[in-house]
């Protein structure tokens, strides 16, 4: 009981810190005079107040957390922050239910980018900025969580990533290292975001759109200020800029940090994930472009290549921008994009899904099994990027992937029972659990998660959270062993 109150104490502090993030929409409201100033100030006050209340009422229980309570805190943070983040949405948008508002903020903070809102073009600028800031903050949060926190908890092969991160991020002493690692990552993330804002402005966006889309691109969130998403701009320059920054955001930010510190691009070649991801995406862009051209979806190869590249990179990196209604393409193309969204993003990036490192472990393990069938006595340790991967880590990775599929199947069946068709159900679950954004069918890029019933909306909300917290973090709370003294 005392330990649970320690979790609440830490959560209170987090909420106070989180309330600072309302400064940006408050400034936006001041600049654009969009009549949302008091709403955002109220939301800020309520968030800070809730935090202070939790913090003060449990201050006697301040202290260190066990691993077990580490899980509780992570889950509590990622459910409480979207809850308080709904305040401005509920205050400003008439008739928005809490279910839909919570879906929207969860979608923002998990960097899923699926939306239940329509008429985005006419939302007050501060509201749009707030949605996009959630994308950006969520991206930051997940990088720190993935690079600094989850490896210590030992989630689904995360130890591997820790071992792979050279230099200052390698150490395992908890508190001081988390702080230093987080600061370094934060600097890299903020720096690349700034470059993205400026590039988008140069490519022709206004400042508000540039900031919003840079936030959404770097967090691989994929929210847009327009119902037509990036298709609204119809600009190859903007699409090109976004492709570059989406690819950067889908790589491990620790690699960016090392490349920056060492002033060397060669670092990227030593990142097995980055190499595999970029090769797979480039090959797929070319293949899908040829397919769309062959099928006559676009009259010329170059037009096909432009639309294939932007939408494929967007889905494969789990960003979720759209420049065309790829739900209308021959089904092979969007299915391949959905498949890529499951496996492509790097660990330590802002993308979701299984992650490229786990995909590599899986492929190498299959190769090992073949060799063992032919030479039963062979000793053949797994190596990735020159490093041996221990068997217990392979097990953790395989366990992760199994639970990933179990989660996908269970949530899909839940949507099927509720009466949704198969393609919409399956793609909605994949799009949410991968934190990608648009699915196919009724939740396709031209559609919207607003058509879902409340039950279906909560299933999708759960899928986003399960995916973002690497599955184990959530599901472990439902095991009897977790609650055993």
* 221 in a labelled binding site: yes
Fill in the per-residue mask, 237 to 276: x = in contact with a copy of itself (CB under 8 A), - = not in contact: ----------------------------------------
Residue 481 interacting with a copy of itself (CB under 8 A): yes
Question: Shortest distance, CB of residue 116 to a copy of itself, whole angstroms?
Answer: 24
Site for a copy of itself in 323-342 (CB under 8 A): 330-332, 335-336, 339
Residue in the structure block whose two tokens are 């009422």: 57
Say which residue the tokens 């600049």 belong to: 31
The answer to the question of residue 438 lying near K ion (CB under 5 A) is no
Q: Which long-range contacts (CB under 8 A, 24 or more apart) does 450-458 make?
A: 450/100, 450/115, 450/116, 450/117, 450/118, 452/116, 452/420, 452/428, 453/418, 454/97, 454/99, 455/418, 456/415, 456/418, 456/420, 456/428, 457/99, 457/100, 457/103, 457/116, 458/99, 458/103
The stretch among 77-85, 188-196, 312-320, 329-337 that binds K ion (CB under 5 A) is 312-320
Per partner kind, with CB cut-offs from 5 to 8 A, the member of K ion, a copy of itself, none near residue 413 is a copy of itself
Q: How many CB atoms lie within 10 A of CB 33?
A: 11
Tell me: does residue 368 bind a copy of itself (CB under 8 A).
yes
State how far the Cα of 315 lies from the Cα of 339, in Å rounded to an integer: 9
Taking the complex as a whole, the smallest distance from the CB of residue 471 to K ion amounts, in Å, to 17
For a copy of itself, the closer CB: 302 or 395: 395
214 contacts 197 by C-beta, under 8 angstroms: yes
The answer to whether 376 contacts a copy of itself (rule: CB under 8 A) is: yes
371 binding partner (options K ion, a copy of itself, none; Cβ < 5 to 8 Å by kind):
a copy of itself
Residue number with CB closer to a copy of itself (46 or 336):
336
Q: Give Cα 231 distance to the centre of its chain.
A: 22
| CA count, 13 A, side-chain hemisphere, 35 | 5
Residue 4 sits in the site that holds a copy of itself (CB under 8 A): no
Tell whether residue 139 is among the known ligand binding residues: no
Whose tokens are 């949060």? That residue is 141
Residues 6 or more apart whose CB falls under 8 angstroms from that of 353 comprise 318, 341, 342, 343, 344, 345, 433, 434, 435, 436, 467
- Sign of the alpha-carbon torsion through 141, 143, 145, 149: negative
Q: Which is nearer to a copy of itself, 44 or 415 (CB)?
A: 415
Q: Is 38 annotated as a binding residue?
A: no
Query: What span, in angstroms and rounded, lies between the C-alpha atoms of 91 and 93?
Result: 6
**Cβ pair 429, 466 in contact under 8 A:** no
Site membership for K ion, residue 222 (CB under 5 A): yes
**Residue 391 touches a copy of itself, criterion: CB under 8 A:** yes
Q: Is 435 assigned a ligand-binding role in the annotation?
A: yes
Quick note: the x/- pattern for a copy of itself over 61-100, rule CB under 8 A, is ------xx--------------------------------
For residue 113, state whether it binds K ion (rule: CB under 5 A): yes
Question: Using CB distances below 5 to 8 A depending on partner kind, what does residue 179 bind out of K ion, a copy of itself, none?
Answer: none
DSSP 8-state assignment for residue 37: H
Q: CA neighbours within 13 Å on the CB side: how many for 483?
A: 5
Binding site for a copy of itself (CB under 8 A): 67-68, 153-156, 291, 330-332, 335-336, 339, 362, 365-374, 376, 391-392, 394-396, 398-403, 405-406, 409, 412-413, 416-417, 419, 421-423, 472, 475-476, 479, 481-482
Annotated binding site: 111-112, 220-221, 435
């Amino acid at each position: 009981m005392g330990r649970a109150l320690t979790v609440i104490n830490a959560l209170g502090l987090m909420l106070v810190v989180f309330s600072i993030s309302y400064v940006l929409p408050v400034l936006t409201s001041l600049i654009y005079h969009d009549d949302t100033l008091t709403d955002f100030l109220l939301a800020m006050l309520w968030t800070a107040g809730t935090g202070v209340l939790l913090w003060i009422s449990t201050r006697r229980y301040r202290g260190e957390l066990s691993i077990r309570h580490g899980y509780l805190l992570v889950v509590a943070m990622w459910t409480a922050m979207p809850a308080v983040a709904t305040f401005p949405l509920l205050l400003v948008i008439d008739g928005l239910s809490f279910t839909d508002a919570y879906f929207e903020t969860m979608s923002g903070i998990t960097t899923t980018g699926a939306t239940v809102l329509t008429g985005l073009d006419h939302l007050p600028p501060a509201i749009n900025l707030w949605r996009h800031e959630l994308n950006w903050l969520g991206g930051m949060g997940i990088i720190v969580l993935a690079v600094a926190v989850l490896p210590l908890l030992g989630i689904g092969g995360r130890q591997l990533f820790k071992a792979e991160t050279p230099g200052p991020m390698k150490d395992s002493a908890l508190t001081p290292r988390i702080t230093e690692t987080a600061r370094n990552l934060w600097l890299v993330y903020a720096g690349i975001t700034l470059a993205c804002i400026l590039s988008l402005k140069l490519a022709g966006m206004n400042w508000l759109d540039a900031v919003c889309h840079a936030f959404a691109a770097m967090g691989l969130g994929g929210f847009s200020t327009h119902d037509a998403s990036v298709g609204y701009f119809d600009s190859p320059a903007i699409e090109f800029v976004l492709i570059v920054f989406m690819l950067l955001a889908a790589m491990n930010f620790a690699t960016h940090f090392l490349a920056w510190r060492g002033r060397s691009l060669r670092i990227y070649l030593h990142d097995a994930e980055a190499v595999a991801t970029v090769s797979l995406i480039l090959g797929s862009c070319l293949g899908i472009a040829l397919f769309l051209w062959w099928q006559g979806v676009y009259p010329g190869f170059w037009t096909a290549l432009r639309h294939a590249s932007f939408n494929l990179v967007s889905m494969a990196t789990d960003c979720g921008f759209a420049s065309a209604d790829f739900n209308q393409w021959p089904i092979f193309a969007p299915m391949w994009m959905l498949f890529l969204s499951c496996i492509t993003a790097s660990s330590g990036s802002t993308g979701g899904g299984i992650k490229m490192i786990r995909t590599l472990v899986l492929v190498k393990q299959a190769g090992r099994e073949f060799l063992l069938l032919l030479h039963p006595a062979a000793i053949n340790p797994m190596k990735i990027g020159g490093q041996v991967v221990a068997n217990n880590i392979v097990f953790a990775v395989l366990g992760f992937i199994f639970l990933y599929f179990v989660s996908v199947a269970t949530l899909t069946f839940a949507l099927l029972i509720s009466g949704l068709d198969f393609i919409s159900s399956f793609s909605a679950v994949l799009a949410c659990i991968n934190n990608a954004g648009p699915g196919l069918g009724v939740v396709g890029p031209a559609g919207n998660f607003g058509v879902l019933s409340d039950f279906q909306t909560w299933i999708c909300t759960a899928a986003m959270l399960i995916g973002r917290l690497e599955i184990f973090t959530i599901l472990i709370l439902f095991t009897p062993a977790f609650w055993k003294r």
